[in-house]
Structures are given as structure tokens and as C-alpha cells.
Structure 1
């Protein structure tokens, strides 16, 4: 290649680079011009959307993913529809993923989380987005994004009731934003960091209030109001500090001052479209009027909260009392229709809160718990269905009576049959003459000595005749000692010749004895169950009743009734 050709190639390379730079600058200039058309418009101003769409189309065509992320971010800011904000957020995440820029991905997930939190009050969904951003933020050098995400995680934790954990996060954010807002940064960055500082302080105040740390709360409020001043740039932040101050004044029963602070904060909060804080504002205005005994004014504000709830299907746990007050007010004025309506609203609010506030909801003090509310609601509704309910109850009652009657008849039949069997057994025993037992030792177990067995059986017969089984606390060891043998040998003899083990043998003797007494002597029919149990050597009333039923197939109380009835019939 000669010298001339080298010069030509260098010239072409220079021209290509120059034209590339020229067109690149021109392209970026066009992005700037498009944004310049709308960047000074107010938030939620839909007139910006046509320019934003041109910006997005251009970035998409040129595959400028950083610009595309910015375009979708602008769409979130300027559209007035919540569902449209969410669509822009999803597109922003899509574009950020294509860019493979970690900081853009973090920003996109944070922005989507903010929409879930701020526009929808879906805290669990918001937290999911913040946690995704947190995973990406572990390896980023952008501290601002890290602390922005920590702040939002703290907000969700605060709303879910984890106040100590949230306060710790806000404390870290305060330290970071305070230092950054005092450093030599671009004015826009100073502004953003100051915003972060004031918002973190406001959220920390909320944590202090719910944790009962009133001293720390009041100090933070005064600090916030002092530092925010009268700057128009931080009017919304000042409104939040005034709201907190009004709530504090209400807590100290300074109702006039509370109303002044709360009303002063109201316009900015209305403008911000933060319906959750607006509900809080209305609630404490209403409570302050209640403190001043102005019920009519207060009820008007409580009804405004109901309107917000109907629109957004959201209620903070601390505002649950709002419906309790409205229910009591309706009761007092005997307005059953309104009472029923507000009861239904409170049940609906409880259902929503139980999902989002899984930690906090069980801790709320409920003067109207769910069971009471349901009973109250049913009480109000049953006026329209009273006749039907009465008929159903009468049918159930009649069926129950029939079933009870049949059960009693069946039980009476069983008792009668068992009593007859017992009576026949008693009569037969009375007719059979008592004879000495005939013992065939050789037919039994060979390891038992026949002579000893006969002797032991005679002792047992004497033990039975003398009613030795009525001794209290009788055990096989005690009986073996009385009979001059050992418990193992006695146990074998009883098992082989008495048809069961020692406990069964003893129980049979005792129950047969007391059954015969009840048949033979009517005075025993007047004894209570405890006395009868002691009479035959059984310590426990329940044990006696169970053994009587097991051996005779009938309870002692039923047997006594049947026996007394039989005696009366004969007489």
C-alpha cells in the first residue's frame, strides 16, 4: 500500500467518525428537544403524553435503551391514570433489562414499587419490587439508588407494623441524605437529597408515633418544620410535618391548635393525591371536633373517609375507629339503615386489612370485633327475614324433640331389658342352694400344686363369705398377705379358677354384692352413689358407676330408678 492510499483511508476514517459524531449529537439533540416540550409541565399533565410517545418511538427505533427507560419513566410521571402508570412501569423494566444496566434495572423496579405503594396501596406487591431492586443494588456503586430503595423498604415495613425495623432504615437514610444535601453537588442532586432527607424524617416521625415515643416524635417534628422553612420546593414535606404536629396536638388535647395545623396542611395533601394521608388528616380533624363537642362537624369528616374508602378500597388500621364512631352515631340516632351500611363497610375494611396488614391487624384494639359486627349485622338484617327464621327454628326444634324422644325411648327400652336380665339372675342365684365348691385341680395348669390350690380356694371362699372384698384400698399383695401366700401364686390361682385377673375378680365381687343389696334391702336405694361405692370398697364415684355399667349393662342411677318404680308398682 503506497503513501497516497494511506492518506485516502485516513481521510475516509476521519469523515466517518465526524459524521457519526455529528449525527449522534443531532440525535441526542432531538431527544433533548422532545423532552424540552414537556419537562416543565405539572405532574399528571396528560398534554405531555404525545411528546413522550414520540420520544419513546424514537428511542425504540434506535434501540437507545437508556433513553427508552427515560421515556417510560416520563410516562409514569405525566399520565393521570393509575393503570397506565403501571403499564409504563412494566415497559420501563423491560427496557432496563434489555439495557443490561444494573442501575437502570434498580430504578425501574423501585418506580414500579412506588406505584404499587403510592397509587394502589398494595404493600406486599410494592415490597416485592423493592426487594428485587435490593438484590441488584448489592453490586452497584450508586449509593443514591441504594438508599432510595432502603427508604421505600422502610416505608412498607412501617405500614406493615414493623416500626423498629423501619425506624432503623430511616435513621440510615437520614444520615446519608443529610451529608449529601450539604456536599458540593449539582443543584438538582441537592434538591433530590433534601427531599430524601425530609421524607425519611417524616417516616421516622410516623414510626415514633406508633411506637409511643412521643418525646422523640415532637423533637423530630420541630426539627423538620425548622429545616424545611417556607420553601415552595418543599411545600408537600412541610404539609406532612404539619399533619404530624396536628396529630400530636390532638394527643395533648389541644384541639384548637390541632385543627389549625391540620387545616394548614390540607391543601398540599389534597394536591398530592396521597389519599392515605388525606384520610388521616380528615380523621384527626374529625376527632378534634369531637374533642370540642362539635359532633355535626366531626361526622362530616368521618363520612369523607368513607368516600375515600369506597373509591380506593383502602383503609389504614389506625382509621378503623372511624367506622366504629359512625356506627355508634347511627345507633344513637336510631338510623338502622346507616348502622347496617357502616357495619358492612367495617367488615369489608377488616377483610382488606387482614390481607395487607398481616402483622399489624391482630394488634389493633377492636371495640367492635368481627364476631360482634357480624352479630350486629345479622340483627339488623333479620327484621326482613324474621318469619322465615322462626319457621326454620321451629322445624329444627321439632326435629330435635323427636330425635330426643326416640333416643330416650331407645335408652329406656335398653334399661328395661338389662334390669329384667339382672332381676332374673338375682332370682336364679337365690334359688340355687349353696354348696361346697368341687375342685378338679388336675384339669388345670400342672405347675400349680393341687393341695395348695384347694387350700387357697377355701380361703378365698371364706374371704368372699366374710365380704373381705369391701376393704378399701385392697390390692393383690395385701390379700396374699392375709391369705398367707405370695401375690404371684395368688394371681395364678385367681386367673385359673376365678375366670379373670385379680382386678376383674375383685370388681365382680363388689358389684355383685352391691347389686344384691339393692335388690334385697330398699334402704340402699336411698343412698347416693358415693355411699354405695364406699359400701362395696370402691373409692371413686365415677369408677363405681363405670364398673357397675360394665358388669350389669346399666348405670346405677338407672337401676335404682327402675327398682324403686318396680317396688312402687307392686305396692
Structure 2
């Protein structure tokens, strides 16, 4: 999610700091004199580009690669075109390598990651650049740069749905920026950037906790932020972000009028900054708040604004998707087929984007209008509107599609059940998702003895079914293993092929799947009972994990297993009667 409309602002503060330091020392370089003519201009102000070009040409002539890097970074900052920003980011990387300054190389890669994230919404590419930048930053003593990268990496992880992992990056960056802000004798421009880093980290932590539904933490963190007078007076945009989170939190508490007030206040700086990502989220929650207050007209007005942003920016995240479901239902109940058809088509487009950009999240979204049904409905309604005289034929086709869909669904269900049964019966073959990567070359920066000890403890952990313990966390398990969470997390990621949360979930599902297949008594359990039996906190989580791991819902698996057992009993009875 876009957390600041000016991704280059911290860079700008750094450059200004160096410039001010030179001024205080009485060193007025020609580069500084040129920079003074454009340094106060706003991002995307293309009128500054000719002045920046003067610095670039001068740096090339003098082979001053640090200033050449600065010139390319400022060119990206002042360019309106996102393609130009990417080109300048690549040029900045080239200049940084020519300088042979690892700190500069780190900042250059971070700059390219920012362009991918904020301008292109290409999250994997952004994360790749941030990770490269982080590797170079570790070769320096620049803790400021390292913590900026922790923040950016945490933002990407949060955006694609890995909230626990994101918090592991965001908390260190928040703590670092907070401690730095307490130091004395810091230039005001640098202090401003440090505090902005703190507020942005805190904001993204709130976003993670909101998606994890940890509302107690949200309340305490929000109180810390919204009561900060310095934040309110000097960091207008960041204060707007906290008001946005306050409004969303009030929505979840069913305080819809307060939610509307907070969200409208947050929109003032967010719209001014042209932060269309968070603007869209605000509109979605405003619409839902008005809907809860039975003001459908006002709700539809805001849901329509979500669609306007989608049309212009092709921006879509799971959080605003249900705006289209509300629009479709609204026009369906009023018999306005054209509007219903239009928003159904928009939802089909939105789902295509979600499936492409958020495969982890989109598989977990409950959808009243699943994509296949949307496509069928969209096609059918359009056909009905265009060919009203063939309603009977259209209806017949629709029923045939439904029949084929159900037939395909049943065949697919049977296929997935047999594949799962084959895996269960073949006890020597592990699921690819939990198979140890023993064949991988040793690549972790962990002593071999420590690694072997952790792998042995994990093997014992699995054999004795200790993963069934409810409430187990990475930190608790690391404590039991007498190691630190970083080592344990790295080993699980490398040798188990997934993060800790996924690893535990798969072990639990594998355990309960075996029980369901081999012990008939478990077939009579409720879904809640099965979830509790394997240590999973809720029915929805259990059902989703079972589907993700086994390719079939637990209720469908139980149904198929009971059918198999009944058929087996019938065959045995038939054999006895024949004798």
C-alpha cells in the first residue's frame, strides 16, 4: 500500500543535509549552487529537469559519480512519467557502481524498488530491488539506510498478505527511528525525515495488526499516534494516515458515524497527496459505513468512487473488492440490468488483477460472486440484453452451463479426492509442501552444528506431534529449542520450504487428514471439532488451510470418505451372500 506520495522525500532530506553541512563549513560547490535553484520544488515538477540536467552534464565531464547519481535520482523525482522514473533509476544504479561506494549502490537499488512499488505496483520486482539494496547496506555501517530498507521490505510483505513476516521488519525500523529522533544536535531536515520514518513504520504496523484482527494492539497504538501534537501539526499526511486507520477501526467497532467523520478528515491530506491507493480504501469504508446506517444512496456514491479510481489507475486490492459486490446487488434489486452488467464486468476485471497480483490473498477471500460464476453471469446478462427475443434459448444455455459446471465440479472433486487418497496411502512420499530440502546445498550463514541440532529438534517436534499445541508461535518454539527466532525461521524457510506459520499449518492438516482417513470416529466430528483437535483456532482458518493443502474442502473429503466406506461395506455384504 502506498504509504507516502513522495517516495524520494527521505533521499531529498539526505541530499539537503549534505548541502547544509557544506554551507556551514563555507564550502559552496558549484553543484550545491545549482541544486539550490531546484531543491525546494515538489515531486513531478518537470520544470526542474533542465536545471538537474546541468548538474548531470557537469558530473559527467568531471567524472564525479556521486553527483551523477544525485542528478539521476533528482531527475526521477521530478519526472512525471513512471517509465522515465524507471530509466533514471537504472542510470542512478550505473552511476553508483562507477563510484564503487557500497552505500550509494544500496540507495540506488532502493530507489529502483521504490519506483517499482509506488509507480508500477510491481511488488515482486520491488522486493527484489529492496533485498539487493539491503545486502549492500549490510556491508556499510549505515544503520539509517538499513532500517529504511527494513521498512520498505515490511511494506511489501504487508501488502501481499504476509503480515507476521512484515512485522518482523517493521518493528526494528520503528524502534530505530524512534530512538534516533530522541538524539540531540540533529539538523531539522534530517530530524524531519527520521520522524517521518517512525510515523510511517508505525502506520504500517497498524495496517498489519488490522489485517490480523488484533484490535487491542490497534487501540493502544492509535492512541499513541492521534494524540501526538507534533504529528498533527507538522506531519499532515502521516496524521491523515492515522485518522484513516482510526476510521477503519471505528467501523469494525460498529461506530459508523465516528468512522465517517475520521475517514472524511483523513481524505483531505490523502487526496491532496494524490495517494489514490489509500483514497480508494477510504471510499470503500465510507460506503460500507453509510450502508450500515441504511443510507444506500450515499453508500453507492462512495462505492462508485472506488470504481472511478479502478478505471483510472487499474488499482485493486482485496480490501476494496466488496464495493463491487454491493454495487451489483444494489442495481440487481432495482432491476437496472445495464448497471448490474457493467459492475459485474468490472468485478471480473478486478478479480483478474487480484489473482495475478495477490495469489496468496485471493485464494482466501470469501466470494459470493466467484470468478467463474461472474464470467458466466456477465456473459449471460449481456447476451440477454442484446438478444431479448431469444430468452428461451439463453435460459437453456444458462441451465446447460450450470449443469456442466456442477458436473465438472463433481469430477474435479472426485479427482482431487483420489489424488489425496493416493498420497495418504503412499506413506513414504511426503507432500511437496513439507518435504525437507535435504538435497539442497548448505547455504545458510549458521554454524553446521547449530543447524544439525535444529533439524534434529524439528524432526522430534514432528514425530511427537508437538505441533498440535494451540497458540504455538515462532518465538515460543525458538525458546523451547534454546535458540533464537531468526535462526529457527531461516532453517524452517530453507529446509521446510515455507515460513513458520505455513509450516505449522501444514503439519496440523497432514495430521488430521490421516486421522480422518484411518479412523472412522473422526468422520462424525464437526468441522469445529476437527479444527480444535489439530490445534487450529477457528473453523474458517481450518477449512481454508485444509483446502489449500489438500485441494479439497474438509466437508467434501468427509463426504467422499464415507461414500467409500459404505461402498466397501456393500461389496463385503455382497461377497458374503454369494458364498
| TM-score normalised by length of structure 1 | 0.63
- Inter-partner Cα distance in structure 2 for 1:377 and 1:151: 41
Contact 1:228–1:237 at 8 Å: present in 2 too?
no
5 Å matches for 1:352-371? 352-371=353-372
Displacement of 1:148 after TM fit?
Answer: 0.6
Displacement of 1:199 after TM fit?
Answer: 0.3
Shift in alpha-carbon separation, 1:232–1:69, aligned structure 2, 3 A? farther
5 Å matches for 1:44-83? 44-83=44-83
Q: Which has the higher contact order (CA 8 A, sep 6+)?
A: 2
Shift in alpha-carbon separation, 1:178–1:282, aligned structure 2, 3 A? same
Alignment correspondent of 1:139: 139
- Inter-partner Cα distance in structure 2 for 1:291 and 1:266: 20
5 Å matches for 1:443-462? none
- Inter-partner Cα distance in structure 2 for 1:64 and 1:228: 43
Displacement of 1:149 after TM fit?
Answer: 0.6
- Inter-partner Cα distance in structure 1 for 2:250 and 2:393: 53
Contact 2:92–2:108 at 8 Å: present in 1 too?
yes
- Inter-partner Cα distance in structure 2 for 1:144 and 1:391: 64
Displacement of 1:166 after TM fit?
Answer: 0.7
- SS of the residue 1:281 aligns to: helix
- Inter-partner Cα distance in structure 1 for 2:28 and 2:52: 15
Alignment correspondent of 2:106: 106
Alignment correspondent of 1:115: 115
- SS of the residue 1:363 aligns to: coil
Shift in alpha-carbon separation, 1:229–1:28, aligned structure 2, 3 A? closer
1:35 equivalent to 2:35? Answer yes
Contact 1:202–1:241 at 8 Å: present in 2 too?
yes
Contact 1:124–1:356 at 8 Å: present in 2 too?
no
Displacement of 1:340 after TM fit?
Answer: 1.5
- Inter-partner Cα distance in structure 1 for 2:97 and 2:575: 82
- Inter-partner Cα distance in structure 2 for 1:266 and 1:352: 25
Displacement of 1:62 after TM fit?
Answer: 1.6
Shift in alpha-carbon separation, 1:219–1:131, aligned structure 2, 3 A? same
Displacement of 1:264 after TM fit?
Answer: 0.9
1:331 equivalent to 2:332? Answer yes
Per-residue CA deviations over 1:8-55 (Å, capped at 9, x if unaligned) read xxxxxxxxxxxxxxxxx9996221111111111222222211111111
- SS of the residue 1:359 aligns to: helix
Displacement of 1:186 after TM fit?
Answer: 2.5
- SS of the residue 1:368 aligns to: coil
Contact 2:231–2:238 at 8 Å: present in 1 too?
no
- Inter-partner Cα distance in structure 1 for 2:231 and 2:151: 25
5 Å matches for 1:85-484? 85-184=85-184, 185-227=186-228, 229=230, 231-383=232-384, 384=386, 387=390, 390=393
Shift in alpha-carbon separation, 1:388–1:265, aligned structure 2, 3 A? closer
- Inter-partner Cα distance in structure 2 for 1:368 and 1:169: 35
Alignment correspondent of 1:12: none
Alignment correspondent of 2:472: none
Structure 2: 5+ residue stretches without partners: 1-24, 401-570
5 Å matches for 1:474-513? none
Per-residue CA deviations over 1:203-230 (Å, capped at 9, x if unaligned) read 0000110001001012111111223535
- Inter-partner Cα distance in structure 2 for 1:299 and 1:138: 50
- SS of the residue 1:365 aligns to: coil
316-325 vs 43-52, greater mean Cα deviation? 43-52
RMSD: 2.7
- SS of the residue 2:183 aligns to: coil
- Inter-partner Cα distance in structure 1 for 2:394 and 2:362: 39
5 Å matches for 1:524-539? 539=575
Displacement of 1:382 after TM fit?
Answer: 3.0
- Inter-partner Cα distance in structure 2 for 1:144 and 1:243: 28
Contact 1:239–1:264 at 8 Å: present in 2 too?
yes
Displacement of 1:351 after TM fit?
Answer: 1.1
Displacement of 1:393 after TM fit?
Answer: 8.1
| TM-score normalised by length of structure 2 | 0.62
Displacement of 1:540 after TM fit?
Answer: 6.4
Contact 2:380–2:394 at 8 Å: present in 1 too?
no
- SS of the residue 2:228 aligns to: helix
Shift in alpha-carbon separation, 1:539–1:356, aligned structure 2, 3 A? closer
Alignment correspondent of 1:465: none
Displacement of 1:315 after TM fit?
Answer: 0.6
Q: Could you say which structure has the larger radius of gyration?
A: 1
Contact 2:226–2:232 at 8 Å: present in 1 too?
no
Shift in alpha-carbon separation, 1:69–1:295, aligned structure 2, 3 A? same
- Inter-partner Cα distance in structure 1 for 2:232 and 2:395: 69
Displacement of 1:198 after TM fit?
Answer: 0.3
Contact 1:228–1:234 at 8 Å: present in 2 too?
no
Per-residue CA deviations over 1:545-568 (Å, capped at 9, x if unaligned) read xxxxxxxxxxxxxxxxxxxxxxxx
- SS of the residue 2:60 aligns to: helix
Shift in alpha-carbon separation, 1:231–1:242, aligned structure 2, 3 A? closer
Contact 2:151–2:173 at 8 Å: present in 1 too?
yes
- Inter-partner Cα distance in structure 1 for 2:128 and 2:208: 21
- Inter-partner Cα distance in structure 1 for 2:364 and 2:396: 38
Displacement of 1:180 after TM fit?
Answer: 0.5
90-99 vs 201-210, greater mean Cα deviation? 90-99
